Structure 1
């Protein structure tokens, strides 16, 4: 039976590669119920343009392959059109930070200006306009969707579409892959925590435990971009979620009910594992050059933004030069797990589940993954200790995060991406 997944994303270069990886799967492997969009790498409006452009290119690629007698691929896309919904424009409480310094202001290295023939017109934009009543007030109690593209545009906010998908499917049958800031997830969980907990598991790209951060010395981008949202989602893994909730001064999202029906299963793909999954410029160039010569629209599109990416890596990171430049495939690793989770070679860290918490208030440590490295006795049962500040030792408190540490394709993941997208 096909795995059912939701992808919450902020496309973004590696996000697009992750989406292409999911869409390239066979229909019997996966059904993509929803692509929900959030701010993050870029503004959410640009995220939407990039997703629509991706589907536009895939339609052209399918036609090109058909005309050239090649297997069409992208069976998951053709078997069932994913819903696309626009979500959070801003973080819950933090000042917004974007990653356009790496991805470009449009998220794909300026491709819409440099390659305008690869970008669809804006005629699709109205398909996502919220429904308004006669007084101009936005309404959200409608599921109106239209369009004849290879996706289904939604007029509902993304967090409501997440809840809809979870209500309409059996409990523990949908995996939610979150590869951007966790704002949409936090809004969904705050609105209806029991419906949110119908999810089978949440797969999160974020955080850094034993590696340095990538936007500050301690902070990985997704955790940093909305630390409050990340902390609220991590808290749902706790036997007592309110024991690890961050203080809230602006968003005023409510505390969780005292007696939730279950704990969230959260698989964390931190920088500790994603930095070990890479594709080199030489590897990519060797694969894509023959396809460019033959006229593949997908090869032209991906080559344009990957060229920008490798040039940016050369500028930002010493040693990333020429064909040896390596792009870490952070987000595609999470999608690959969702597609192949039954492979026994996937494994969490030996001490999982771990009590990992996200720092929300630190001047220098926002987005930091905090773990307790002290050698202290756990406090079992109902006992509490006055010196257990933050409930780090209590068996009735603290988060329970499965930090993933081993994968089946660490050494050849770049080739996996090439084969799935272009093979």
Structure 2
């Protein structure tokens, strides 16, 4: 029985790919990927889906190579479970224009499909997602590692949450949160059966990475993020964005429970780095001919070269491990070294209307105390849920979001070693 059953919502670029590899390299007792729900983001949806399928294709070749070399195969969770792969949203809730960051290249993986065509699957797999049937006479061996769904991703999310016991499924969201917002809008009570939603997104005390204020995943669909975060509030209507054009209904009043949401903003993810020297030392030691090493070397090596072009002379390029950090938390959340902000849960809201601040995570920096709530008492007097003059509820005991923000981990340098050790065991 796995410690964590996980829905992995992703728009595979470089760090998403490393995150998925880390999850698949876990032990069956640690983690089971139940569903990989694919969304647009770093690149359009079809490219993101191809990158997910490519991971299984490359790992199939890698396990065969390791077996032939007499090496430990690893990737026990990959062999023990068979996740569903489902296609999700093609664009944000309110816009047809994709807000791609451009950093990951036209295919999301820095041209690896063109550079290494033998490591890219032929697109016969498309028929699996269209009608659930393989193309005649085409049944590649990597098909055994996943089940293609013809049902939209947000409906698969709801189906799984409805069928599994309450508080047993965690969601790892490392792309734009459109799929999650659609699931929550369609059936909020079923969505709230989730144990925890772990989100890579936002920038609190540091600059954004797509604008001065916004992190990419949030910027790509700020309304979706705001709608999901609103479910952490006892009064979701107090923070849900007011967008007349939206096709999604408001949440009903008096939902049965609040959403538990753990946020991994750039503040905590950016310092977890994979340095160039350590990376090349590791992949070189794997041995010549490893399909995974060849594939990952092209992808991550391209990031290092791009960093040098953008930033000029720097001591050593290093890849921030944004998305893999969330998987590490899911694997080791019982470690006391994981720390939340001292005033957690925090009222963190998302700006959806600002011309220059679209996608910004907003917090109250005034240092004023929140109302204690009617259930509390001070000197024998019943405290209030509201503070006079606080019209938008920043100081309210009930209104506003309640987000757990991660500020500490078991170690910045430790993680890069654990990531590479697990992937290339």
Residue number in structure 2 paired with 1:275: 270
TM-score (norm 1): 0.93
User: Equivalences for 1:217-236 in 2 at 5 Å?
Assistant: 217-236=212-231
Q: 1:112 to 1:100 in 2, by over 3 A?
A: farther
2:153 is aligned, of 158, 165, 186, to 158
Aligned residues: 405
**Cα deviation code 1:308-367 (max 9, x no counterpart):** 11111112235545xx10110000000111111111211111111100000000000011
The whole-number CA distance in structure 1 between the counterparts of 2:145 and 2:101 is: 28
User: Equivalences for 1:201-280 in 2 at 5 Å?
Assistant: 201-280=196-275
CA contact (8 A) 2:6 2:34 kept: yes
User: Equivalences for 1:8-407 in 2 at 5 Å?
Assistant: 8-94=9-95, 96-99=97-100, 101-129=102-130, 148-291=143-286, 293-320=287-314, 324-379=316-371, 380-381=373-374, 384=386, 387-407=389-409
CA contact (8 A) 1:231 1:245 kept: yes
CA contact (8 A) 1:201 1:267 kept: yes
The whole-number CA distance in structure 2 between the counterparts of 1:393 and 1:277 is: 33
CA contact (8 A) 1:14 1:330 kept: yes
CA contact (8 A) 1:6 1:175 kept: yes
**Cα deviation code 1:183-221 (max 9, x no counterpart):** 000000000001100000000000000000000000000
**Cα deviation code 1:89-130 (max 9, x no counterpart):** 000114634445210010000111111111010111110016
Unaligned runs of 5+ in 1: 132-146
More divergent stretch after superposition (302-311 vs 267-276): 302-311
Does 2:417 match 1:415?
yes
More divergent stretch after superposition (268-277 vs 377-386): 377-386
Q: CA RMSD in A?
A: 1.5
Shift of 1:384: 4.3
The whole-number CA distance in structure 2 between the counterparts of 1:403 and 1:294 is: 42
More divergent stretch after superposition (147-156 vs 157-166): 147-156
Shift of 1:383: 5.2
CA contact (8 A) 2:385 2:398 kept: no
Counterpart secondary structure, 2:86: strand
Counterpart secondary structure, 2:145: coil
Unaligned runs of 5+ in 2: 133-141, 375-383
Shift of 1:290: 3.2
Residue number in structure 1 paired with 2:378: none
Q: 1:383 to 1:345 in 2, by over 3 A?
A: closer
Query: Which runs of at least 4 in structure 1 moved beyond 4 Å after TM superposition?
Result: 382-386
TM-score (norm 2): 0.92
CA contact (8 A) 1:180 1:222 kept: yes
CA contact (8 A) 1:320 1:326 kept: no
The whole-number CA distance in structure 1 between the counterparts of 2:278 and 2:312 is: 19
Q: 1:129 to 1:320 in 2, by over 3 A?
A: farther
Residue number in structure 1 paired with 2:380: none
